[in-house]
């Protein structure tokens, strides 16, 4: 009987000591938020990766490229025949567009004899966890923001990157803008 009382007393002392330590130090950390002051943890590895991804995306946009075309050298100004020579026939092909579903990439082409890219689009999965708020916080104030005229749940933010335009597209879910759905780079002078 005495052994059970002793174990209960020891467990109680340990629990009390632990709780008192947390109260006095105020360093509880729960789910990315400090419980003592409710300040969000900004420097998590995921957020650092998102910042790196978004900044890299903006740099690529200055070159007329997206992350899925970077290592192939494709971007604005690339002839359709060069893309097809490296990637083969697209999943879908129209006069002015080629979609490569297996590469999460689509291209729009000029209607002149050269058929060069003026719009490159990606739905790469690396963007799927990057939020609207995070995009704006990392890249700053966009050049413009707008709802899609045809789909009121679609929303875009636009950044000018030299002579090209970088667009991030989002969809509303339950009244709140979700994460990035797609990214495109456009040469508006060629539309």
pLDDT digits (tens, 9 = 90+) for 135-169: 999 999 999 999 888 888 899 999 999 999 999 99
Q: Return the closest-CA partner of residue 185 out of 136, 126, 118, 92.
A: 118
**5 band by pLDDT with thresholds 50, 70 and 90:** low
22 and 82 share a domain? no
- Per-residue pLDDT averaged across 66-82, rounded? 96
What whole-number distance in Å separates Cα of residue 3 and Cα of residue 98? 77
123, part of any domain: yes
Q: Please tell me the predicted confidence (pLDDT) of residue 152.
A: 84
- Cα separation, 188 vs 163, in Å, equals 9
CA-CA-CA-CA torsion sign (164, 124, 122, 100): positive
Same domain, 21 and 70: no
The answer to whether residues 78 and 103 belong to one domain is yes
Indicate whether 126 and 153 sit together in one domain: yes
SS (H, E, C) 150-182: CCCCEEEEEEEECCEEEEEEEEEECCEEEEEEE
156 and 72 both lie in a single domain: yes
Domain that holds residue 92: 45-190
b/e burial code for range 142-151 (CB count within 10 A of at least 16 → b): beeeeeeeee
Residues 6 or more apart from 24 whose CB is under 8 A from it? Answer: none
Query: Does 4 have pLDDT greater than 80?
Result: no
Residue 92 lies in a domain: yes
- CB-based burial label for 103 (10 Å; 0-12, 13-18, 19+): middle
- If asked whether residues 87 and 25 sit together in one domain, one would say no
**Position with higher pLDDT, 190 vs 155:** 155
Using the predicted structure, report yes or no on whether residue 122 has a pLDDT greater than 60.
yes
Say if residue 61 is in the same domain as residue 141.
yes
Does the residue 120 lie in any domain?
A: yes
Residue 8, pLDDT above cutoff 80: no
Name the phi and psi angles at 81, rounded to 5: -60, -35
pLDDT tens per residue across span 30-59: 333 333 333 343 444 556 799 999 999 999
Query: Span 61-90, mean pLDDT?
Result: 96
* Residue 85 domain-assigned (yes or no): yes
Say whether both 94 and 13 belong to one domain.
no
Long-range contacts of 23-30 (CB under 8 A, 24+ apart): none
The yes-or-no verdict on residue 26 having pLDDT over 60 is: no
The answer to whether residue 39 sits within a structural domain is: no
Query: Looking at the structure, do residues 94 and 134 belong to the same domain, yes or no?
Result: yes
Asked whether residue 164 is assigned to any structural domain, the reply reads yes
172 shares a domain with 86: yes
Question: Number of structural domains, the chain?
Answer: 2
pLDDT mean across residues, the chain = 81
Give the containing element (helix H, strand E) for 87. helix 80-87
Cα-atom radius of gyration of the chain, to the nearest Å? 25
Q: Give this prediction's pTM.
A: 0.74
136 within domain boundaries:
yes
Q: How many CB atoms are closer than 10 A to CB 71?
A: 8
């Amino acid at each position: 009987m005495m052994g059970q009382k002793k174990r209960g007393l020891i467990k109680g002392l340990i629990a009390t000591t632990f709780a008192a330590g947390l109260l006095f130090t105020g360093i509880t950390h729960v789910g990315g938020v400090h419980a003592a002051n409710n300040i969000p943890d900004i420097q998590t590895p995921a957020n650092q990766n998102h910042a790196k991804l978004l900044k890299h995306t903006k740099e690529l946009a200055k070159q007329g490229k997206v992350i899925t075309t970077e290592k192939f050298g494709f971007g604005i100004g690339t002839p359709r025949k060069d893309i097809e020579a490296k990637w083969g026939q697209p999943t879908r092909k129209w006069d002015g567009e080629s979609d490569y579903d297996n590469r999460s990439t689509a291209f729009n082409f000029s209607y002149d004899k050269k058929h060069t890219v003026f719009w490159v689009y990606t739905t790469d999965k690396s963007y799927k966890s990057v939020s609207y708020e995070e995009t704006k916080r990392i890249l700053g104030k966009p050049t413009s923001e707008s709802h899609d005229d045809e789909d009121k749940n679609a929303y875009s933010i636009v950044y000018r990157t030299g002579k090209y335009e970088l667009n991030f597209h989002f969809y509303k879910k339950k009244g709140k803008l979700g994460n990035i759905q797609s990214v495109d780079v456009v040469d508006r002078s060629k539309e």
